[in-house]
């Protein structure tokens, strides 16, 4: 009965872990996110872009540079007649353009609005970098739990092989049962190689995000169930929360404000500008001359220039307003979709804990007991153990999928949530290995060949032999 005891321990360890409420704080994950935000070249680039836009604000509000004019006026070509002829002099002149009152303020206001748009882009990149690290962390926890499950399965198959060997030696079993058990153990070893490669890839992904050596070890002490359940909200609450936090919506709204500021600046640009000029003309021994003048630009091309600039700015404002409404609709849609998926995953995980895993374990215990007394064949043992593993691995993937959707909800992603898979798992070529796919829920067959079969991402697998 040692095999049944091990199976019971495996089942209830998973159930107990799922029922643990450990809050949302995770020092390892938080440290990874902090390092990524500190060192990420993508985030650094976005911060520099914001700084660049802020440096433009005083530029657009500054006065145009004055013009200094140096010159000479002379009578004749033979010699310099300054001080001799009244109409010969040196010239020093300064001209200062002066925009119409309010123009510089409108331009500076438009630039501040533009800066706020780029700041919203920075927040989007911050959320995206954070979400990418959190997804990588979930993938790492998932594959490490799959490796632990794999280790336990290898021990279970070793015990199953021992049972088959004992029955064969006393003449109650067949040699094919023993050989089949050995084959399944070998296939599990093949699967172990694939899982270890996936773990290394997950570590490298996180190290790239935090700009560390790719193969630097990352220690984890949490399980997927320790990450806690997402907050329970209604669809309307989720949509309102997403509207409030969405950087995409904030960017769209700020783009509308920036467009309005550009309309104001374009309207103000219809008015003429001025130019103040002052100069002095020294004439040597003669009295110096001076001048002062005021120039005014003439908007004679108003209908083809300034008025069209106003129309252009108004059209862009309308375009940005339509874009804001479109973004708001998508933000609300995605939030409500993800909340529906999270609710379905919560029910699925509850079914795993309260029914599927318990029933699967009962089927295993019943089948093993019947096999020991010769009432069922070893093929039934293989089938029920495969179903047990499909359920265990499916539960891990469902927990991981719950975290991925919750991460997307925190990210306020505009990507659609993943579709939920249906329950039920067919009979695979590799009992205990086929359901332990990596991210995305794919299940790869063993070396014996055969088609690939998807693992339920959120639904429970129906155990064979029940």
Residue 16 pLDDT: 40
CA 379 from centroid of its chain's CA atoms? 45
pLDDT digits (tens, 9 = 90+) for 25-58: 789 999 999 999 998 888 899 899 999 999 998 9
Report the 10 Å Cβ neighbour count for 232: 11
Angstrom distance (rounded) from CA 140 to CA 188: 20
How many domains are contained in the chain? 1
Considering the domain boundaries, does residue 418 fall inside one?
A: no
Backbone torsions φ then ψ of 300, nearest 5 degrees = -75, -15
Look at 420 and 327; give whichever has higher pLDDT: 327
Considering the domain boundaries, does residue 64 fall inside one?
A: yes
Q: Which residues pair with 292 in a beta bridge?
A: 278
Residue 6 pLDDT: 46
Residue 317's domain is classified under what CATH number? 1.20.1600.10
Banded pLDDT at 353 (limits 50, 70, 90): confident
pLDDT digits (tens, 9 = 90+) for 249-260: 999 999 999 999
Angstrom distance (rounded) from CA 457 to CA 394: 6
Look at 155 and 425; give whichever has higher pLDDT: 155
Residue 421 pLDDT: 63
Express as a percent the part of the chain with pLDDT over 90.
Answer: 47
Residue 404 pLDDT: 94
DSSP 316: H
Angstrom distance (rounded) from CA 307 to CA 403: 54
Considering the domain boundaries, does residue 436 fall inside one?
A: no
Instruction: Please say whether the dihedral angle defined by the alpha carbons of residues 191, 197, 200 and 204, taken in this order, is positive or negative.
Output: negative
Considering the domain boundaries, does residue 142 fall inside one?
A: yes
Domain that holds residue 86: 2-411
Banded pLDDT at 390 (limits 50, 70, 90): confident
pLDDT of 436 strictly over 70: no
Which range in 85-99, 360-374, 382-396 is most confidently predicted, on average pLDDT?
A: 85-99
Residue 365 pLDDT: 76
Average pLDDT over the chain, rounded to an integer: 81
Residues, the chain, total?
A: 466
Residue 428 pLDDT: 32
pLDDT of 360 strictly over 60: yes
Considering the domain boundaries, does residue 458 fall inside one?
A: no
pLDDT of 84 strictly over 50: yes
> What is the mean predicted confidence (pLDDT) over 204-222?
91
> What is the mean predicted confidence (pLDDT) over 301-305?
88
Complete edge-to-edge strand list for the sheet that includes strand 274-283: 67-73, 89-98, 274-283, 286-296
Residue 240 pLDDT: 94
* 245-255: b (≥16 Cβ within 10 Å) or e: bbbbbbbbbbb
Residue 437 pLDDT: 38
Considering the domain boundaries, does residue 376 fall inside one?
A: yes
Considering the domain boundaries, does residue 269 fall inside one?
A: yes
Conformational region of residue 465, where left means phi above 0, alpha means psi within -120 to 50, and beta covers everything else: left
Residue 114 pLDDT: 92
Strand 286-296 to strand 89-98: parallel, antiparallel, or no bridges (unpaired)? unpaired
Express as a percent the part of the chain with pLDDT over 70.
Answer: 84
pLDDT of 458 strictly over 50: no
Considering the domain boundaries, does residue 73 fall inside one?
A: yes
pLDDT of 367 strictly over 90: no
Report the 10 Å Cβ neighbour count for 217: 7
Angstrom distance (rounded) from CA 376 to CA 366: 10
pLDDT digits (tens, 9 = 90+) for 109-164: 999 999 999 998 899 999 999 999 999 999 999 999 998 888 877 777 776 777 77
pLDDT digits (tens, 9 = 90+) for 62-71: 999 999 999 9
For residue 38 the two structure tokens come to: 């500190």
pLDDT of 261 strictly over 70: yes
């Amino acid at each position: 009965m040692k095999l049944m005891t091990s199976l019971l321990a495996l089942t209830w360890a998973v159930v107990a872990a799922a029922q643990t409420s450990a809050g949302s704080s995770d020092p390892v994950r938080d440290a990874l996110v902090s390092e990524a935000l500190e060192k990420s070249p993508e985030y650094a680039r976005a911060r520099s872009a914001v700084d660049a836009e802020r440096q433009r604000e005083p530029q657009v509000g500054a006065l145009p540079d004055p013009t200094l004019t140096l010159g000479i006026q002379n009578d004749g070509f033979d010699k310099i007649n300054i001080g001799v002829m009244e109409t010969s002099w040196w010239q020093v002149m300064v001209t200062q353009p002066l925009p119409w009152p309010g123009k510089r303020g409108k331009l500076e206001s438009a630039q501040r609005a533009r800066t706020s748009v780029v700041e919203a882009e920075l927040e989007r990149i911050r959320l995206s970098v954070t979400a990418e690290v959190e997804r990588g962390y979930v993938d790492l926890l998932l594959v490490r739990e799959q490796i632990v499950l794999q280790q336990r399965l290898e021990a279970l198959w070793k015990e199953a092989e021992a049972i088959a060997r004992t029955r064969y030696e006393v003449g109650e079993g067949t040699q094919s049962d023993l050989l089949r058990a050995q084959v399944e153990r070998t296939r599990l070893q093949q699967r172990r190689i694939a899982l270890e490669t996936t773990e290394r890839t997950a570590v490298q992904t996180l190290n790239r995000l935090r700009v560390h050596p790719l193969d630097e070890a990352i220690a984890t002490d949490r399980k997927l169930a320790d990450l806690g359940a997402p907050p329970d909200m209604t669809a309307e609450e989720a949509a309102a929360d997403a509207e409030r936090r969405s950087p995409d919506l904030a960017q769209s709204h700020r783009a509308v404000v920036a467009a309005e500021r550009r309309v104001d600046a374009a309207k103000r640009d219809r008015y003429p500008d001025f130019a103040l000029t002052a100069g002095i003309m020294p004439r040597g021994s003669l009295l110096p001359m001076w001048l002062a003048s005021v120039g005014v630009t003439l908007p004679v091309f108003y209908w083809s220039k300034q008025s069209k600039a106003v129309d252009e700015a108004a059209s862009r404002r309308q375009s940005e307003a339509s874009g804001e409404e479109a973004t708001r609709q998508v933000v609300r849609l995605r939030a409500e979709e993800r909340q529906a998926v999270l609710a379905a995953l919560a029910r699925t995980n509850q079914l795993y804990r309260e029914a599927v895993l318990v029933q699967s374990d009962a089927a295993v215990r019943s089948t093993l007991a019947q096999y020991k007394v010769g009432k069922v064949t070893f093929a039934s043992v293989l089938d029920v153990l495969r179903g047990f593993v499909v359920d265990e691995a499916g539960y891990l993937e469902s927990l991981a999928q719950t975290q991925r959707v919750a991460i997307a909800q925190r990210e306020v992603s505009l990507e659609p949530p993943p579709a939920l898979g249906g329950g039920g798992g067919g009979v695979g070529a590799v009992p205990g290995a086929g359901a332990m796919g990596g991210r995305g829920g794919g299940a790869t067959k063993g070396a014996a060949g055969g088609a690939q079969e998807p693992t339920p991402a959120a639904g429970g697998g129906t155990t064979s032999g029940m």
